Amino acid sequence: MNDPKIIVALDYPNADSAMALVAQLDPQLCRLKVGKQLFTAAGPGLVESLANKGFAVFLDLKFHDIPTTVALACKAAANLGVWMMNVHALGGSSMLRAAREALGESAQRPLLIAVTLLTSMSETDMVEIGLTGSPQDAVLRLASLTHAAGLDGVVCSAQEAALLKQTLGQSFCLVTPGIRPAMAALGDQQRVMTPVAALAAGSDYLVIGRPITHAADPLKALQNIHTEISNEENP
């Protein structure tokens, strides 16, 4: 498997528990995501060591600050050897452009994507923070801003994937959390899809955390999702 589509969210409280899972994984099988919990607990050294083991690492810190601060944070993240990193599209065009410019034009630069509307949010949550319209409207608006600023793609729900591919083109990368195999607990996710449906809708990469990391046998859970996807691709 040369281009693994599954990004396992390493949402663990410390390096030891994350590494216990990583020891069972192979860079050909999945990519890895390091988010706020693990990064805050274990630091940049862990990110570098995952990259040194050959894993494509998505550093999910969702930078959202003034343009200068975000640009400098992106440069620091790029120095860790990550494959992908993100900012929050709600930071606006100036911040998005500053982040993109900070990474330069080298072919080795990390991919830079922007979070649109968190997959844990529904239309009711949007009203609370003064966002009008449907989740699809908000995601399309923020993804269009991100596209115009020259970033590589967005984090969105798979429920918006078809619309975004149709509007912004096939090469605009869609990374979708809120992935739930049939019968899996939703937890705090609201805009969800199964792995097979998400790929069919146009997701490029599936971010999957608890359905794998909270499973009794995480490796088996990951393999089962792979099997489900392969059966769909090669019936």
Give the residue numbers annotated as catalytic, written as ranges. Answer: 60, 62, 65
Does 44 belong to an annotated binding site? no
CB 154 within 8 A of CB 90: no
208: contact with ligand LLZGTKA7 by CB under 6 A = yes
If you ran DSSP here, which 8-state letter would residue 226 be given?
A: H
Q: How far is the CB of 189 from ligand LLZGTKA7 (least distance, A)?
A: 5
Token pair 């993109």 in the structure block, residue: 100
- Which two tokens mark 198? 């998400």
84: contact with ligand LLZGTKA7 by CB under 6 A = no
174: contact with ligand LLZGTKA7 by CB under 6 A = no
DSSP codes joined into one string, 42-70: H-HHHHHHHHHTT--EEEEEEE-S-HHHH
Q: How far is the CB of 37 from ligand LLZGTKA7 (least distance, A)?
A: 8
Q: Rounded distance, CA 183 to CA 113, Å?
A: 30
Q: Which residue of 207, 222, 225, 229 would you call a contact of ligand LLZGTKA7, by CB under 6 A? A: 207
203: contact with ligand LLZGTKA7 by CB under 6 A = no
Q: Rounded distance, CA 114 to CA 92, Å?
A: 10
Binding segment (CB under 6 A) for ligand LLZGTKA7, from list 13-21, 145-153, 165-173, 201-209: 201-209
CA of residue 159 relative to chain centroid, distance: 15
Beta-bridge partners for 115: 88, 155
Per-residue x/- track, 118-147, ligand LLZGTKA7 (CB under 6 A): xx----------------------------
Measuring CA to CA, which residue among 78, 86, 140 is closest to residue 112?
A: 86
35: contact with ligand LLZGTKA7 by CB under 6 A = yes
210: contact with ligand LLZGTKA7 by CB under 6 A = yes
189: contact with ligand LLZGTKA7 by CB under 6 A = yes
Token pair 């792979």 in the structure block, residue: 226
Report the half-sphere exposure of 39 (CA within 13 A, side-chain side).
19
Binding segment (CB under 6 A) for ligand LLZGTKA7, from list 48-56, 111-119, 160-168, 194-202: 111-119
